[in-house]
Structure 1
Amino acid sequence: MDKNISPAKSGTMFGVLFGVIMVLEFVIMYVIGMKSLVNSSAGVIVNIANYLVLPLLFIYLGCNHYKKDINNGFISFSESLKTGVSITVLAALIYAIFNVIFNYIFPDFINEMLEITRDGMLAKNPEMTAKELEVGLGMVKKFMNPLIVFPVTIAMYAFIGLVYSLIVGAIVKNDKP
């Protein structure tokens, strides 16, 4: 057993891989065309992958890696939590940094997303007044600010990591006798 590797450090590889996958998904969606994908089944699939499937998968892989390869077949509940939260926070950090850089490189992206949002709001509620539309778009624009996106993304994925780590930890837990 290698006492030098903490559960959080053991998940680094999985966190980086998860973050890179989220960045690649974003880039592919941007290159293909966000307007055609945002309200389509492809957009739904990407969201399900980023918020459900991939976090569970990488947390499970990270906990299993720590259990089998580092800790001689043992992992406590707290070690599972440390591993899972570190994986999702690292992935969120990579994605949030990319998002901030992307918005500075392509400043028109926020305007494109606001246009897509406006079209979606009008499609769902055609009788929406101009004032209601302006208020709604103002809120969306505030939440697209990189200074808001960065901490919210990290906090959201930390919470997701905590919840999913509780689930995975209950499954893979094997305390030392």
Structure 2
Amino acid sequence: MTETLSPGKSAINYAITFGIIMILEFVIMYVLDINPQESPIIGAAINILNYLVLPFLFIYLAANHYKTKINHGFISLGETLKIGLTISALAALMYGIFYLIFDFIFPEFKDELLNQIQEITVKQNPSMTSEQLKMSMKFVKMFMNPYVVVPFTIIMYCVIGLIHSLIVGVIVKKDKPVF
């Protein structure tokens, strides 16, 4: 009797690849000192890539691989959801762990980023009072805390993965015949 691979386990390689790509993007942007807030085109491109293109691509590829290579041409919506959530959660977890390590190794990164955000905020809102700016920066600082960023990132990517999985599931779904 042959044991088939579960949808979640079959998605792990795609999740690892997605996580590595997100980490490489972060490292490249840090090393090259590319600031997405100062370059809106780059910021928009990274966001489109990370939230629309890559999740959809990896979920589609993993679901199609599971359907054609593992499950004899069949895949249900539920299996696609398992694949998509596995990819999204694992890639986000990898990115989150990397962010924790990066924050530990380069603690000055957060201060640099906070200064850049403050400069941009003042430039975009010159009439903002110092109290409003302090409140705004306090809020930004709270969301830059790694213990807030990591769970928030995982939850956000799971929601994004769920949406993409539903779309991909409708596209690739092919149920096994009943008889």
Give the drift of 1:113: 1.0
Alignment-derived partner of residue 147 in structure 2: 147
Q: Which amino acid aligns with 2:76?
A: S
Give the drift of 1:34: 3.5
Cα distance in 1 for residues equivalent to 2:107 and 2:57: 33
Alignment-derived partner of residue 37 in structure 2: 38
Cα distance in 2 for residues equivalent to 1:44 and 1:116: 18
Q: Given the two structures, how large is their TM-score scaled by the length of structure 2?
A: 0.95
Alignment-derived partner of residue 111 in structure 1: 111
Alignment-derived partner of residue 23 in structure 1: 23
Q: CA RMSD in A?
A: 1.2
Cα distance in 2 for residues equivalent to 1:171 and 1:39: 38
Q: Which sits farther off after the overlay, 122-131 or 9-18?
A: 122-131
Q: Given the two structures, how large is their TM-score scaled by the length of structure 1?
A: 0.96
Alignment-derived partner of residue 101 in structure 1: 101
Cα distance in 1 for residues equivalent to 2:2 and 2:124: 56
Gaps of 5+ in 1: none
Alignment-derived partner of residue 73 in structure 1: 73
Give the drift of 1:124: 1.4
Cα distance in 1 for residues equivalent to 2:140 and 2:99: 16
- Count residues with an aligned counterpart: 176
- Kept in 2: contact 1:2–1:70 (CA 8 A): no
SS in structure 2 opposite 1:34? coil
Cα distance in 2 for residues equivalent to 1:48 and 1:120: 22
Cα deviations by residue, 1:6-36 (Å, 9 ceiling, x for unpaired): 101110000000000000000000011034x
Cα deviations by residue, 1:69-117 (Å, 9 ceiling, x for unpaired): 1001100000000001100111001000001100110001111111111
Alignment-derived partner of residue 6 in structure 2: 6
- Kept in 2: contact 1:2–1:71 (CA 8 A): no
Cα deviations by residue, 1:97-140 (Å, 9 ceiling, x for unpaired): 00110011000111111111111111211010111000000000
Cα distance in 1 for residues equivalent to 2:122 and 2:3: 58
Alignment-derived partner of residue 174 in structure 1: 174
- Kept in 1: contact 2:37–2:120 (CA 8 A): no
SS in structure 2 opposite 1:113? helix
After the TM superposition, list the runs of 4 or more consecutive aligned residues in structure 1 that deviate by more than 4 angstroms: none
Cα distance in 2 for residues equivalent to 1:3 and 1:125: 61
Report the identity percentage. Answer: 53
SS in structure 1 opposite 2:50? helix
